[in-house]
């Protein structure tokens, strides 16, 4: 089941690049749903986290939030700190999309805190800082948003990343 869930996550990532057919995703989603009641601990987390990602991709925001909240209840079974950061980033992303600025900011700060512990996650830190800046724009804090964008640009340049 773990491998099937990881394969589904991979398919979701490919679908964002438009390499994966939506019907294939739906088929995999439906087959995984059959196991939903049998999952415990870490598998329960992954199941609901990936279902949330799938629903968010389909713009089914209520279903996505419900799945993410259910995943959050099982997050304690996941030992990988980076996986926690990934979860917090996804929560920040959906709350930003829903214009729930302060909830989004709370989750993105958790993600940044974790990512900053690891040198090889600078790209994730940059994405998180963009979410912070965009939330500040939504809350009409243009000066704060500009400061975050400048900070992100400096971090990007210092890390040798080239913005397009």
CATH superfamily membership of 1-79: Tetratricopeptide repeat domain (1.25.40.10)
pTM of full prediction above 0.85 = no
Contact 50, 86 (CB under 8 A): no
For residue 16, what pLDDT is reported?
55
The CA angle 13-96-159, to the nearest 5 degrees, is 65
How far is residue 94's CA from residue 51's CA, in Å, rounded to a whole number?
Answer: 13
Percent of residues in the chain assigned helix, strand, coil, to nearest 5? 80, 0, 20
- Per-residue confidence (pLDDT) for residue 60, from 0 to 100: 92
Which residue's entry shows tokens 């439906």?
Answer: 30
Res 98 pLDDT > 70: yes
- pLDDT mean over 71-92: 95
Q: 11 is written with which tokens? A: 């398919």
- The domain defined by 80-164 folds into 1.25.40
- pLDDT over 80 (residue 161): no
Query: Quick one: average pLDDT of 95-120?
Result: 96
In the chain, domain spans: 1-79, 80-164
pLDDT band at 27 (very low <50, low <70, confident <90, very high): low
> What pLDDT score was predicted for residue 1?
61
Share of the chain above pLDDT 70, in %: 74
Average pLDDT over residues 37-50: 80
């Amino acid at each position: 089941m773990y491998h099937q869930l990881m394969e589904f996550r991979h398919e979701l990532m490919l679908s964002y690049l438009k390499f994966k057919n939506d019907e294939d995703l739906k088929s995999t989603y439906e087959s995984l749903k059959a196991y939903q009641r049998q999952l415990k601990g870490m598998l329960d987390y992954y199941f609901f986290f990936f279902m949330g990602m799938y629903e968010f991709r389909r713009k089914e925001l209520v279903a996505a939030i419900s799945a993410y909240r259910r995943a959050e209840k099982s997050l304690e079974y996941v030992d990988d700190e980076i996986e926690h950061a990934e979860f917090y980033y996804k929560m920040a992303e959906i709350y930003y999309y829903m214009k729930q600025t302060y909830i989004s900011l709370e989750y993105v700060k958790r993600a940044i805190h974790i990512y900053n512990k690891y040198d090889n996650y600078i790209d994730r830190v940059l994405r998180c800082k963009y979410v912070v800046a965009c939330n500040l724009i939504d809350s009409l804090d243009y000066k704060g948003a500009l400061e975050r964008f400048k900070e992100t640009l400096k971090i990007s340049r210092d890390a040798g990343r080239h913005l397009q």
